[in-house]
Amino acid sequence: MISDPDLSRDAAERFARHGYLALPGLISRPGLDRLLAELELLEGEAVRRDFAMECMGGSPRHMTTIGGKALAARSPLIADLYERPELLGLLSALTGERVQGVGELTERHVLNILHQPGDTHGEHTDDYPYALVFFLQAPEDAGDGGLLEYAPHTTELPLPDGTPVERRHHRAGDAYLLRADTTAHRVSPLTRPGVRRTVLNFAYTTPGREEARTPSARLLYGDDHG
Ligand SMILES: O=C(O)CCC(=O)C(=O)O
Ligand SMILES: [Fe+2]
């Protein structure tokens, strides 16, 4: 399911400097087809979320999610992929750290679905240091929104005016690695009916960082959403 990524020293250095590394085409074509078929089977687990995330500067959430507990219970494919040694090896090679899976289920692996105009995943930082994000569906045209926007080495939220923000467009089958706890990031709103952007986000951590730091995952992926 996973194609061979670029694990050069240059890739690791770019990741350390920018907090982001593109992994184009990381999902093989057969892998993408399997994940898309899985997504259809999981549709009944999806929950619509429309609220402001107070602990992240009040940024908006307009999206549909499938949380980690539902995926652990319903998707052996995704639960197995999360633990694949080649993914842990990739993360360790690119970060130089002893990367390990997150024990707590709610946010260890989640699906985020943007599917109508205005849908957005507003700015935030993640609880755990590393996010490996796989694109199952994405707007072909960057003008249709759904861009990843991130501010390297920045955690202040709301993002202060004038903060330099990088923007990246991705296609289905692409992935990226983000230093998610110290890189404020968001997904720009979709602008056109009929386009969908679905990502599978795998959270990873390091020894001694086993607890979530904010209620954000519980609010976005748990049962007690408001
Ligand atoms: O959809 C994305 O590209 C970002 C996902 C994300 O930031 C998250 O799930 O925490
Ligand atoms: Fe995030």
Amino acid identity for residue 93 in this structure: A
Q: Is 65 exposed, middle or buried (0-12, 13-18, 19+ CB in 10 A)?
A: buried
* Candidate of 112, 150, 169, 178 to mutate for ligand 1, largest count of ligand atoms within 8 Å of Cβ: 112
Q: What is the pLDDT of residue 24?
A: 96
Query: DSSP states of 161-176 as a string?
Result: TT---EEE---TT-EE
Res 226 pLDDT > 50: no
Note whether 106 and 145 are within 8 A (CB). no
- From the CA of 187, the nearest ligand is 1
Q: What is the pLDDT of residues 59-70, one digit of tens each?
A: 999 999 999 999
d(CA 150, ligand 2 centre) in Å = 10
25 conformational bin, left if phi > 0, alpha if psi -120 to 50, beta if neither: left
Q: Is 216 in the pocket of ligand 1 (CB under 6 A)?
A: no
CA distance 115 to 133: 18
Res 7 pLDDT > 90: no
d(CA 180, ligand 2 centre) in Å = 6
- From the CA of 133, the nearest ligand is 1
Domain ranges in the chain are: 9-204
Question: How much of the chain, in percent, has pLDDT values that exceed 90?
Answer: 93
d(CA 201, ligand 1 centre) in Å = 6
**What is the pLDDT confidence band of residue 225, given thresholds at 50, 70 and 90?**
very low
Between helix 9-18 and helix 85-95 the angle, nearest 10°, is: 70
**What is the pLDDT confidence band of residue 224, given thresholds at 50, 70 and 90?**
low
Q: What is the pLDDT of residue 4?
A: 87
Q: What is the pLDDT of residues 122-162, one digit of tens each?
A: 999 999 999 999 999 999 999 999 999 999 999 999 999 99
The residue whose CA is least distant from atom 3 of ligand 1 is 148
Q: Is 201 in the pocket of ligand 1 (CB under 6 A)?
A: yes
* Candidate of 124, 187, 202, 204 to mutate for ligand 1, largest count of ligand atoms within 8 Å of Cβ: 187
Paired residues of 21 in beta bridges:
177
Q: Is 199 in the pocket of ligand 1 (CB under 6 A)?
A: yes
Under CATH, which architecture does the 9-204 domain have? Sandwich (2.60)
Q: What is the pLDDT of residues 83-123, one digit of tens each?
A: 999 999 999 999 999 999 999 999 999 999 999 999 999 99
